[in-house]
Amino acid sequence: MDRCSFCGREKRDTNLLIAGISGHICDSCIEQAHGILQEELKKNSGFDVSQIKLSKPGEIKSFLDQYVIGQDYAKKYISVAVYNHYKRLVHVKNPDKSDVEIEKSNIVLVGETGTGKTLLARTIAKMLHVPFTIVDATVLTEAGYVGEDIESILTRLLQVADYNVEAAEKGIVFIDELDKIARKSDNPSITRDVSGEGVQQGLLKLLEGSVVNVPPQGGRKHPDQKMIPVNTKNILFICGGAFDGIEKKIGQRLNTKTVGYTAVKEADKVDRNNLLQYVTPQDLKSYGLIPEIVGRLPVLTYLDPLDEEALRNILTEPRNAIIKQYERLFDMDGIKLTLEDKVLDYIVKKSLEFKLGARGLRSICEAIMIDAMFELPSQEVREIHLDLEYAKEKLEKTDVKRLRVA
């Protein structure tokens, strides 16, 4: 009778028995062998930073330019930060004779909603050769409360690195919505600020650099769980947030200097339409970030609000531009899509009117094209041309209140 050559079980006791030249193997032994193979591969897959090809800051920015319109100031900061991070990895692996230890420079990006903070991070992820993950700060709470522990940030980085700890310790983390964990109020309260200041306190050890015990599958920590120690000393943290209302803090700070005739002249030079360009660490502290967090995010930069020209370019210029995506969607059904230039201008004006930023362009396009995308695939249509009247008619049918930002 046929039986497994490894465990000895007979064919009737297995779900599957595969025959070889001089033996058999059952499905259970195949699964166990696969698990052993995966473990051995993880042990032998060392992360050799010396093999990393250093992309110069100019090359990184050129890559970002293909996907992100404008924001040259923020692109330069991120390009330099990523380039220096690569150099630090090589330096740590191959230290020179000097005793100078290069410290990492974590970054914080400040910009209105829809200006491209997360898009910059996602685009960087496309070209990186180190583990990269994006996490949302809004779901984080203090340990013991409903939500995710701060250590879950590193769990996601480990998952991206396929649980190769050495690779994860050289990775980059983008923390989105940093402003949502700002201190809610300076007034004392009987309730704990478990998703605000409490999270900031927990982030300190990650940003500074320390050995953190991480639950491999995420979720809550418990005493019997096996933990993975991860050293965050060489992990670069890039943080982003809209910091809605921080312009008031900046304006108040700038106005305090308006004393005397010279100060008034200097105040006239201030661009009131883009106060974010004057943001300083002091403003982040006034907004509700604790001084320790601000000190661990030494590089501070901003994203410009998008004007009409930038929004118009976003619709058509980038490699994955919104209009190109719709053209491709219709093309899959054998339909050629064309739009009048007036339609594009109309979409841009509506986005500015609703204060939606680049994110709103997609919502408005969807509202205009939804009927066409619903009806045309089942009809014998090979070409569709959208004019201004059609766009206005479809958008006016839509409940525009759901497109507005509260």
Query: Is 1 contained in some domain?
Result: no
pLDDT, average across residues 1-30: 89
Residues 185 and 88 in one domain: yes
Flag whether pLDDT at 196 surpasses 90. Answer: no
Number of domains in the chain: 3
Confidence of residue 258 (pLDDT cuts 50, 70, 90): very low
Residue range 212-223: mean pLDDT, rounded: 72
Whether pLDDT at 336 is above 90: yes
Residue 176 lies in a domain: yes
In tens, the pLDDT along 353-383 reads 888 788 889 999 999 999 999 999 998 889 9
pLDDT above 90 for 209: no
CATH number of the domain residue 317 falls in: 1.10.8.60
Cα distance between residue 183 and residue 196, in whole Å: 5
Q: What's the pLDDT band for 240 if we cut at 50, 70, 90?
A: very high
In this structure, the answer to whether residues 279 and 380 fall within a common structural domain is: no
Which range of residues forms the domain containing residue 352?
308-402
In a domain, 211, yes or no: yes
Instruction: Please state, in angstroms and as integers, the Cα–Cα distance from residue 167 to each residue in 88, 173, 302, 326, 353, following that order.
Output: 14, 13, 30, 38, 46
Is residue 330 located within the same domain as residue 295?
Answer: no
Q: What is the mean pLDDT of residues 174-193?
A: 74
Residues 222 and 112 in one domain: yes
Rg (CA), the chain: 27
| Domain co-membership, 67 together with 170 | yes
Give the separation between CA 364 and CA 371, rounded to whole angstroms: 13
Measured distance CA(48)–CA(93) in Å, rounded = 8
Q: What is the pLDDT of residue 338?
A: 94
Q: Calculate mean pLDDT across residues 97-101.
A: 69
Whichever domain contains 78, its CATH number is 3.40.50.300
Contact partners, residue 396, CB within 8 Å, separation at least 6: none
Is 2 within a domain?
Answer: no
Question: Which of 302, 323, 348 marks a domain boundary?
Answer: 302
Assign 208 a pLDDT band (cuts: 50, 70, 90): confident
- pLDDT number for residue 406: 33
Same domain, 386 and 333: yes
Instruction: State the pLDDT at residue 265.
Output: 54
